[in-house]
Copies of this chain bind each other. A is one copy, B any other.
Amino acid sequence: MKVYTSTIQVRTRGETDIIDITQRVKEKVTPIHVTNGSLLLFIPGSTAALTTIEAESGVMNDLRKAIERIVPRNIPYEHDKRWEDGNGYAHVRAALIGPSLNIPILDKQMILGTWQQIVLLDFDNRPRSREIVIQIMGE
Q: Is A61 engaged at the interface, CB distance under 8 Å to the other chain?
A: yes
Taking CB atoms and an 8 Å cut-off, the chain A residues in 108-123 that contact chain B are 111-113, 115-116, 119
Q: In the assembly, what is the distance between CA of A71 and CA of B115, in Å?
A: 20
Contact size class for A?
Answer: 35 or more
Q: In the assembly, what is the distance between CA of A97 and CA of B92, in Å?
A: 12
Chain B residues with CB under 8 Å of A45's CB are: 113, 115-116
Q: How far is the CB of A121 from chain B (nearest CB, A)?
A: 9
Q: Is A127 engaged at the interface, CB distance under 8 Å to the other chain?
A: no
What is the oligomeric copy number?
Answer: 3
Q: Are B58 and A94 in contact (CB under 8 A)?
A: no
| Chain A 77-106 interface mask (CB, 8 Å, partner B; 1/0) | 111011100001001101111111111101
25 contacting pairs across A/B (C-beta < 8 A): A3-B36, A3-B139, A5-B104, A38-B40, A38-B135, A42-B104, A42-B111, A44-B116, A46-B52, A46-B54, A51-B99, A52-B94, A56-B79, A58-B77, A58-B81, A59-B92, A63-B92, A70-B70, A96-B97, A97-B98, A99-B101, A100-B102, A102-B102, A106-B133, A137-B138
